[in-house]
Amino acid sequence: MHNPPYEIYDGVYESYAEKPERIESIVNYLREKGFEKLYSPENFSIDYIYNIHHKEYIRFLQRRSNSLKEDEVLYPSYCIMDTYTPIVAKTYDAAISSVDVALSGAKYIKNGEQLAYSLCRPPGHHADYKTMGGYCYFNNAAIAANFLSKYGKVAILDIDFHHGNGTQNIFYERSDVLYVSIHADPKFKFPYSSGFENEKGKGEGLGYNKNYPLPLGIENGEYIRTLRMAIKDVEKFSPKFLIISLGFDTYEKDPIGGFRLTIPIYRTIAKDISSLKLPTLIIQEGGYAVNALGKIAYEFLQGIS
Ligand code: Q9C
Ligand code: ZN
């Protein structure tokens, strides 16, 4: 299992926030609440990953991960943007499975389902063409979006607490995939180097990238006002599919976040997004308040109609 023991932050070892219990918390709670349609992923061809990530990067991750012994932890100095994201023996396998979970959800949507929730772990939105970082290795949402883009325009609405630098960059010059993100001001929070308002896309992609950086400490009301602007952007684009990069690290008690959203607001967030009436694939990104994640996911799903 991909379960790194620690991350290095300012040269200090800290316990690793992106734990397996995150997804277990969500699955267990949803089961308790009577959700029965829980499926295992299908295996997809690696070509879907090759379409988004650099060949050498994929091979590097595979080689390094598969060469590690069970308890070894590697902080590479290559293909990485930070010191948070180690490679362990099962990292490559876990990253591949996470992509399979995303693509399985995408396939349901392509085949006519209105909603699929892909409980991906490890998360993906910080993973760029040839860099891992921010607990991410392969960009699940980008790979799913690229898959769906063969059948129509795709909007990605990223509501993780952090800016999805990888997703933004991957689609920065494309006009068939819109990227809209609401996140903590990168002046203060990871990934620091992108997520600013003036990043609007490039070439053909100009106008198809939109960032809403928000100050730390914001509460439900201000968040919802911003969300409604982001929803308008999606609406104007009139996509065929919507992907939500969903992070619960916007929750007030998240250990690495910095917003003040409360649990019931996730129902409102989902309800507002539902007003778009689009076939929607939810991709799990961050969220580290392990004990609350099930409840938050449940609230969110209750709001989707
Ligand atoms: N020691 C996602 O939410 N910074 N990634 C952690 C605390 C890295 C978050 C600093 C944050 C990455 C998918
Ligand atoms: Zn995050």
- The string of pLDDT tens digits covering residues 143-172 is 999 999 999 999 999 999 999 999 999 999
- CB contact at 8 A, 174 and 204: yes
Q: How far apart are CA 182 and CA 260, in angstroms?
A: 14
Give whole-number Cα distances, 45 to 41, 50, 63, 150, in Å.
13, 9, 18, 16
Residue 166's pLDDT is 98
CB of residue 256 inside a 6 A radius of ligand 1: yes
Does residue 10 surpass a pLDDT of 80? Answer: no
pLDDT tens string 55-86 = 999 999 999 999 999 888 988 877 888 878 88
Q: Which atom of ligand 1 is nearest to the CA of 7?
A: 1
Give the list of residues 6+ apart from residue 35 with CB closer than 8 angstroms, or none: 301
Measured in whole angstroms, the distance separating CA 17 from the mean position of its chain's CA atoms is: 15
Distances (CA, A) of 163 to 48, 182, 198, 246: 23, 7, 14, 12
Instruction: State whether the beta carbon of 133 lies less than 6 angstroms from ligand 1.
Output: no
Q: Which two tokens stand for residue 152?
A: 């129509």
Residue nearest to atom 1 of ligand 1 (CA): 9
In eight-state DSSP terms, residue 204 is G
Q: How many CB atoms lie within 10 A of CB 265?
A: 23
* Per-residue pLDDT, 33: 96
Which residues are known catalytic residues? 126
How many angstroms separate the first and last alpha carbons of the chain?
A: 35
**What value does the mean pLDDT take over residues 196-219?**
98
Determine which residue's CA is closest to atom 3 belonging to ligand 1.
286
Q: Can you tell me the mean pLDDT for 101-122?
A: 98
pLDDT of 212 > 80? The answer is yes
> Looking at the whole model, is its pTM more than 0.75?
yes
Closest-CA residue to 188 (of 166, 161, 210, 159): 161
- CA 71 to CA 183: how far, in whole Å? 34
> Residue 8: pLDDT above 80?
no
- Ligand 1 atom closest to Cα of 287? 3
Question: Ligand 1, closest atom to CA 161?
Answer: 3
